């Protein structure tokens, strides 16, 4: 009987934690979309954000590595080889950088843009694991400004569609994805 009571208590605690997390992550407000890109509502309040180290940003977007990348590669008929994974990570990081730059410019936060570019230019610092660079970018943006949370949530399914849809550049290559997909002409 004590075991059953314990299970009920654990279930209730889990339910309360889930509801509180959902309430805290639900930001009211309109999140606009322009030309296929999502832009967060911008607070007029200026602040210097703290950028959390990897894994402490408490984001509710699942890590991209490895499952997201494996799913994309599977959807476009490519094996998850190290070459394909890193080429896809590079491509996604370029796509995210473009969105991040637009968000920085929209907010007028040139200092955050400079920190972002210094941190991630060329795939990040010497200690940066390339396969985790996009996840680290998401953590940076998540910690930078709460108004990016919904924009990032909205961007993820859009990104997956762009990568796996019929117009994706990934279909243009054979078994091995090249580096530099971002710079290639359609």
Q: Are strands 37-39 and 32-34 parallel, antiparallel or unpaired?
A: antiparallel
Reported confidence tier of residue 41, pLDDT bands at 50, 70, 90: very low
pLDDT higher than 70, residue 131: yes
Query: Residue 42's pLDDT is what?
Result: 34
CB contact at 8 A, 115 and 125: no
Burial of 92 (0-12, 13-18, 19+ CB in 10 A): buried
Of 73, 42, 38, 37, residue with least CA distance to 146: 42
Terminal-residue alpha carbon distance, the chain = 66
CB contact at 8 A, 81 and 89: no
3-state secondary structure of 167: coil
Comparing 119 with 50, the larger pLDDT belongs to 119
pLDDT higher than 70, residue 150: yes
Is the previous residue joined to 89 through a cis bond, with omega within 30 degrees of 0?
Answer: no
Q: CA–CA separation, 7 vs 87, rounded Å?
A: 46
Query: Residue 18's pLDDT is what?
Result: 41
pLDDT higher than 70, residue 3: no
CB contact at 8 A, 110 and 104: yes
- Name the strand (E) or helix (H) holding 32: strand 32-34
Q: CA–CA separation, 3 vs 166, rounded Å?
A: 53
Query: Residue 25's pLDDT is what?
Result: 42
CB contact at 8 A, 52 and 139: yes
What average pLDDT does the structure give for the chain? 77
């Amino acid at each position: 009987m004590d075991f059953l009571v314990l299970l009920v208590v654990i279930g209730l605690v889990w339910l309360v934690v889930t509801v509180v997390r959902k309430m805290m992550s639900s930001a009211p407000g309109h999140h606009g979309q322009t030309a296929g890109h999502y832009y967060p509502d911008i607070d007029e309040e200026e602040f210097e954000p703290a950028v959390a180290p990897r894994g402490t940003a408490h984001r509710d977007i699942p890590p991209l590595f490895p499952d997201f990348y494996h799913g994309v590669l599977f959807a476009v008929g490519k094996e998850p080889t190290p070459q394909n994974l890193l080429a896809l990570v590079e491509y996604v990081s370029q796509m995210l950088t473009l969105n991040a730059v637009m968000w920085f410019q929209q907010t007028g936060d040139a200092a955050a843009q400079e920190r972002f570019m210094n941190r991630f230019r060329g795939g990040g610092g010497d200690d940066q694991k390339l396969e985790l660079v996009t996840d680290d970018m998401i953590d940076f943006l998540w910690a930078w400004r709460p108004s990016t949370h919904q924009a990032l949530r909205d961007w993820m399914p859009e990104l997956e569609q762009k990568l796996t849809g019929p117009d994706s550049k990934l279909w243009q290559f054979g078994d091995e994805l090249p580096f530099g997909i971002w710079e290639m002409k359609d």
